[in-house]
Amino acid sequence: MKEVYGEQCLARCTKFGWYQRYEAGRVNIKELPRPGQVHVVTNCAKISALGELIQQNLQITTSEIAVELSISKGTVHHIIDKKLGYGKVCAQWVPNHLSDNRKTARMGVCLTQQFLH
């Protein structure tokens, strides 16, 4: 098989392992369930609830959010960082990227400061 498939050929021990599992009665190629913590899917309701908590209290901690929404701190971090785009600055949650309204407001402040000097 190595002559035909080259380096992409499966290792011999992998093939023997598959054969042993087949002989033991396993015919399903899908992964079997594994023990451990259940994976919680982030849905729109959790994301919007977390966003509302941050809007109500910009100084709320991830631990407080996790307790309030009954989700793990890792999930809270994932939603805040990846889904909502917030970061912590001076103990307050702030957007990582400015919206168009905030960009316009900042430009206005900069222009008025420029004319004052």
Which spans in 6-99 are helix H?
12-23, 44-56, 62-69, 73-78
pLDDT digits (tens, 9 = 90+) for 22-50: 898 887 777 777 777 666 667 888 999 99
pTM beyond cutoff 0.85? no
Please compute the mean of the pLDDT values over residues 16-24 and round it to a whole number. Answer: 88
Q: How far is CA 33 from the centre of its chain?
A: 22
Model confidence at 5, pLDDT cuts 50, 70, 90, reads confident
pLDDT, tens digit, for every residue of 45-98? Answer: 899 999 999 999 989 999 999 999 988 898 999 899 888 888 888 888 887 777
- Closest CA relative to residue 84, chosen from 52, 61, 59, 56: 52
Domain boundaries in the chain? 6-84
Instruction: Give the separation between CA 81 and CA 76, rounded to whole angstroms.
Output: 8
3-state secondary structure of 82: helix
Mean pLDDT across 15-24: 88
Give residue 117's pLDDT band: very low, low, confident or very high (50, 70, 90): low
Contact 108, 114 (CB under 8 A): no
